[in-house]
Structure 1
Amino acid sequence: MPNTFETFKSVALAEGFDEVLERVWAPDTVLEEHTHPFAVKAKVVQGEMWLTVAGETRHLVPGDLFELEYGVPHSERYGPEGAIYWVARLN
């Protein structure tokens, strides 16, 4: 998996994603269950997060990948240091 944002972006665009950005989350942020009008593929690059989908929670740390299809209900919680991840979106 790509180790720089530019490489992540190039690979994601080649895979058909149409938007790639870096998301920075403040410490201890909690996002209650919600959906997005896009599919995502993301790589955690700093900090930690917990992603809950269909009652299953994954603890994600730097180097971990996650994907969500369009419209999938999920919640997010970020650790005491916050988190940064690179995300490709398919709008």
Structure 2
Amino acid sequence: MDRDAFVALLAQEGFKELVTVEREPDGGLDTHTHPFEAKALILDGEIRIVCGSAESVYGPGDIFHLMADEPHTEYYGPRGVRYLVGRRQDRESPAHS
């Protein structure tokens, strides 16, 4: 998917906060969660995301989607990764407002 189509999709789905994230080559983050739902378009590089026993690798043009409070681990490719992410607060939980 291209950037413009992705931004339009995020707006249609109610994602109001857009952020570009860059991560270092061959880096990663141990298992963690976010207090928001995230949908991201990979712009450059590669990211591997592990959720439970499921592992997925995403490259340019791919989209990943994580729910609020979903435990996951991230690993970045040899060129790092840069992605555009839409964040949406969990509307079901007052603790996340």
TM-score scaled to structure 1, two decimals? 0.88
- Shift in Å, 1:41: 0.7
The code of the aligned residue for 2:37 comes to A
Percent sequence identity is 37
- Partner AA of 2:87 in structure 1: R
Q: Secondary structure at the match of 1:17?
A: coil
Tell me which residue corresponds to 1:9.
Answer: 7
In 1, Cα distance between equivalents of 2:86 and 2:27: 21
Q: Which residue of 2 aligns with 1:56?
A: 54
Q: Which has the larger radius of gyration?
A: 2
- Spell out, residue by residue over 1:30-75, the C-alpha distance to the aligned partner (whole angstroms, 9 max, x if none): 1000000000111111001100001211111111111011100000
Instruction: Report the AA paired with residue 36 of structure 1.
Output: H
The correspondence for 1:79, drawn from 43, 52, 77, is 77
Post-superposition CA distance 1:1-58 (Å, at most 9, x none): 3x23x55334312321120111111111110000000001111110011000012111
Structure 2 residue runs without a partner (length 5+): 90-97
| Distance (Å, rounded) in 2 between the aligned partners of 1:17 and 1:74 | 21
Inter-partner Cα distance in structure 2 for 1:64 and 1:33? 22
Once residues 58 and 11 of structure 1 are traced to their aligned partners in structure 2, the CA distance between those partners, rounded to angstroms, is 22
Count residues in correspondence.
89
Q: TM-score, normalised by structure 2?
A: 0.83
Moved over 4 A (4+): none
Q: Mapping of 1:10-49 within 5 angstroms?
A: 10-49=8-47
Where structure 1 has 5 or more consecutive residues not aligned to the other structure, the ranges are none
* Residue 83 of structure 1, CA deviation: 0.5
Q: Give RMSD over aligned pairs.
A: 1.3
